Amino acid sequence: MKQLLQSFFLSTFSLSKPTDRVMMFRALFFLLLLACLHLSLAQGPYENCCLRYVPHVRRSTRNMVVSYRRQQTDGGCNIPAIVFMMKLPLRKPFCADPNAGWVKRLMKLVDKRQAYRLRTKT
């Protein structure tokens, strides 16, 4: 079987010298490596998704929130969520249910804070 494969390979690519075989092996290995790399990159980056909601947060934590973003279920994420970002030095995100009342109130509060910062900056 091995001899059959070698004769087929040699006759197909007409490689007679050992250096030609080495070059062909390197080229095939390189193409295989590129194909694997392409497949791994084609999947795209992993998204930073929330997997669960926090049921509630303390008032001190709410006062540290500086921004938020909406997580949609159309990408790689499974649940809709509001991702709140806290002030430095923590800068830790936490996820909340977008249908919860306290979440809607906190979103309005963050929007007001950001509008006030923009107004006072100019």
- pLDDT tens digits, residue range 45-54? 556 888 899 9
Residue 80: exposure state from Cβ atoms within 10 A (0-12, 13-18, ≥19): middle
Within a 10 A sphere around the Cβ of 98, how many other Cβ atoms? Answer: 15
Residue 16 reports pLDDT greater than 80: no
Closest by CA to 95, choosing from 60, 63, 59, 65, is 65
Q: pLDDT digits over 25-70, tens only?
A: 777 777 787 766 666 555 545 568 888 999 999 998 899 999 999 9
Give the global pTM.
Answer: 0.59
Quickly name the fold that domain 59-121 has.
OB fold (Dihydrolipoamide Acetyltransferase, E2P) (2.40.50)
Query: What pLDDT score was predicted for residue 94?
Result: 94
What is the distance between the alpha carbons of residues 60 and 64, in angstroms, rounded to a whole number?
A: 7
Question: CB within 8 A of 52, min separation 6: which ones?
Answer: 79, 95
Within a 10 A sphere around the Cβ of 52, how many other Cβ atoms? Answer: 9
